[in-house]
Amino acid sequence: MRAKIINFLQYDKKKGNLKDELLSGITVALALVPEAIAFSFIAGLSPLVGLYSAFFIGIITSIFGGRPGMISGATGAIAVVLVSLVINHGREYVFAAVILMGVIQILVGVFKLGKFIRLVPQSVIYGFVNGLAIIIFMSQFGQFKIGNEPDSPWMSGNSLYIMLGLIAVTMLIIHFMPKLTKAVPSSLTAIVVISLLVIGLDIPTKTIGDLASVSGSFPSLALPNVPFTWETLEIVFPYALIMAGVGLIESLLTLTLIDEITETRGSGNKESFAQGLANFVTGFFGGMGGCAMIGQSLINVNAGGRSRISGIVAALGLLSIVLFVGPVIEMIPMAALVGLMFMVAIGTFEWATLRVFGKVPVSDIIVMLVVILITVFLHNLALAVLIGVVISALVFAWENAKRIRARKHIDENGVKHYEIFGPLFFGCISTFNDKFDVNNDPDEVVIDFRESRVVDLSAIEALNKLTEKYLKAGKKLHLRHLSPDCIAMLKNAEKIVDVNILEDPDYKVVADRATV
């Protein structure tokens, strides 16, 4: 039984340190508090809603997720989607949308669609990561306001200088302490030191308690108070679909990033299922939904969290804060957490990308910048990734369209051979047609596809039109070395278009149809 539990937690004391797992979990729990509160404010919900969401999503994904060490909770990407739903229909519809969001994500995991994250190119991932780093950095600016309202005045004078000074000390501790000792996570040390400094010297500065109370009781299980009608489904489904997409994209890209850092491999399908289960359960407890959190995940990994233990500790620690030690946590200065998040943003940004300008294709640079700009200014991670993938796909298609080539020669029997190189698809049809000289070609022509393949319906139609031209010219055309999958595609296409290709044991002969 003990071996099974250790295997389930994926903890190996040869590779990890139990103390680091526990301490990194505590650090993450403290860092989750202001984030959950801030995202609740964004969505127009009670701060406790964000805290409860962070607990349920964190504990469920840590236990059942496909990436040990990754932290999930209430996120700004989901909160932004919920704003209009809260304003137009009320909070109960939010909970219904979160439940449906969970169902969609569970289906993605069950049908193993998480593997499609492999289609996201590296330039998009870099743009996503850098854009998110900028968002994490900029999102801390709101803590430099005196109040919590959007129109609250900015700090000035001594209050601003104190805040900046405490942030600077926090960042220095996090940066230099690992050079001295790694016995305790530097992030947790910085939070404790700054808190003791502020409390001991009675320094007037903004604390977590100034944001909102973090004390409460355990949430109760209840169905969303909405009518179970088709109209309700029409209201919540678009929001659920968008949140499911945004949540999975952010979670799977975060999983990819943590995979690279830890040099291990997580399961995208398993993570998709766990994210769905977490959101499904959260909706029944009045939660706002969420997904993986890149900032907190990096805090955890950098502090030594590698197994499920750190994520479980973080979730239980957050619940303990709400139930038992809220008043104590409310005394932690925001400067310590802002400094921590600044260091996370600095560590998240892929600084190496600044050195690739002029060394990689211009298209990759454009994709990276587009993804960064959409992420930063629209705060729509799903749209940013989707547009990045589309641009990359179009560039790939364009580049491959230019690579279709034909080597020509006439053999001793007077037969002209066209040896095709490169895939034949919609992007290169015009170039492909330009390779042939129907009027001046001899009476017998062979098109050899040994180094090529027919990819799509556009390619099939192009072959049909080409064969028609040779037939009208009274010439025999052979299609040679078509791969089995190409032949199958051509047969299937006969239901849609009139495919002018007959099979022959040695050649694929077109002109034979005229003699049948």
Gyration radius of the chain over CA positions: 29
Question: Rounded CA gap, 491 and 474, in Å?
Answer: 25
Question: Rounded CA gap, 246 and 244, in Å?
Answer: 6
User: What stretch of H or E contains 71?
Assistant: none
Which pLDDT does position 505 carry in this prediction? 41
Quick one: average pLDDT of 54-79? 91
pLDDT for 461-470, tens place per residue?
888 888 888 8
Extract the tokens encoding 319.
Answer: 């619940």
3-state secondary structure 123-186: HHHHHHHHHHHHHHHHHHHHHHECCCCCCCCECCHHHHHHHHHHHHHHHHHHHHHHHHCCCCCH
Which residue would you say has higher pLDDT here, 115 or 198? 198
- In this model, does residue 422 exceed pLDDT 90? no
Question: Rounded CA gap, 156 and 425, in Å?
Answer: 62
CA-based angle 273:131:385, to the nearest 5? 50
Quick one: average pLDDT of 32-59? 84
Confidence of residue 504 (pLDDT cuts 50, 70, 90): very low
Indicate the angle between helix axes 268-284 and 47-64, nearest 10 degrees. 140
Which residue would you say has higher pLDDT here, 278 or 506? 278
pLDDT for 88-107, tens place per residue?
898 899 999 999 999 999 99
Which residue would you say has higher pLDDT here, 417 or 146? 417
Quick one: average pLDDT of 311-330? 90
How many percent of the chain have pLDDT more than 70?
90
Please enumerate in sequence order all residues whose Cβ is within 8 A of that of 184, keeping only pairs 6 or more positions apart, or say none.
23
Extract the tokens encoding 121.
Answer: 């190119």
Question: Rounded CA gap, 267 and 271, in Å?
Answer: 6
Confidence of residue 39 (pLDDT cuts 50, 70, 90): confident
Question: Rounded CA gap, 126 and 134, in Å?
Answer: 12
Which pLDDT does position 35 carry in this prediction? 75
CB–CB of 109/68 below 8 Å? no
pLDDT for 256-275, tens place per residue?
889 888 888 888 899 999 99
How many percent of the chain have pLDDT more than 90?
27
Confidence of residue 492 (pLDDT cuts 50, 70, 90): low
Extract the tokens encoding 262.
Answer: 């830890």
Question: Rounded CA gap, 509 and 241, in Å?
Answer: 49
**Nearest C-alpha neighbor of 28 from the set 83, 86, 73, 95:** 73
Phi and psi torsions of 265, nearest 5°: -130, 125
- In this model, does residue 310 exceed pLDDT 80? yes
Architecture of domain 405-515: 2-Layer Sandwich (3.30)
Question: Three-state SS for 303?
Answer: coil
Does this model's pTM top 0.85?
A: no
Question: Three-state SS for 292?
Answer: strand
- In this model, does residue 33 exceed pLDDT 90? no
Residue with the two structure tokens 């994904």: 61
Which pLDDT does position 476 carry in this prediction? 84
Which residue would you say has higher pLDDT here, 490 or 391? 391
Which pLDDT does position 378 carry in this prediction? 77
Question: Three-state SS for 399?
Answer: helix
Which pLDDT does position 489 carry in this prediction? 66
> What's the Cα-to-Cα distance from 389 to each of 144, 146, 377, 386, 400, rounded to whole Å?
36, 41, 18, 5, 16
Which pLDDT does position 10 carry in this prediction? 52
**Nearest C-alpha neighbor of 278 from the set 21, 4, 70:** 70
Which residue would you say has higher pLDDT here, 305 or 274? 274
Quick one: average pLDDT of 376-382? 75
Which pLDDT does position 495 carry in this prediction? 52
Which pLDDT does position 7 carry in this prediction? 53
pLDDT for 443-463, tens place per residue?
888 888 888 888 888 888 888
Question: Three-state SS for 410?
Answer: strand
Which pLDDT does position 491 carry in this prediction? 66
Please enumerate in sequence order all residues whose Cβ is within 8 A of that of 178, keeping only pairs 6 or more positions apart, or say none.
186
Which pLDDT does position 5 carry in this prediction? 45
Extract the tokens encoding 187.
Answer: 């992030």
Residue spans per domain, the chain: 16-351, 405-515
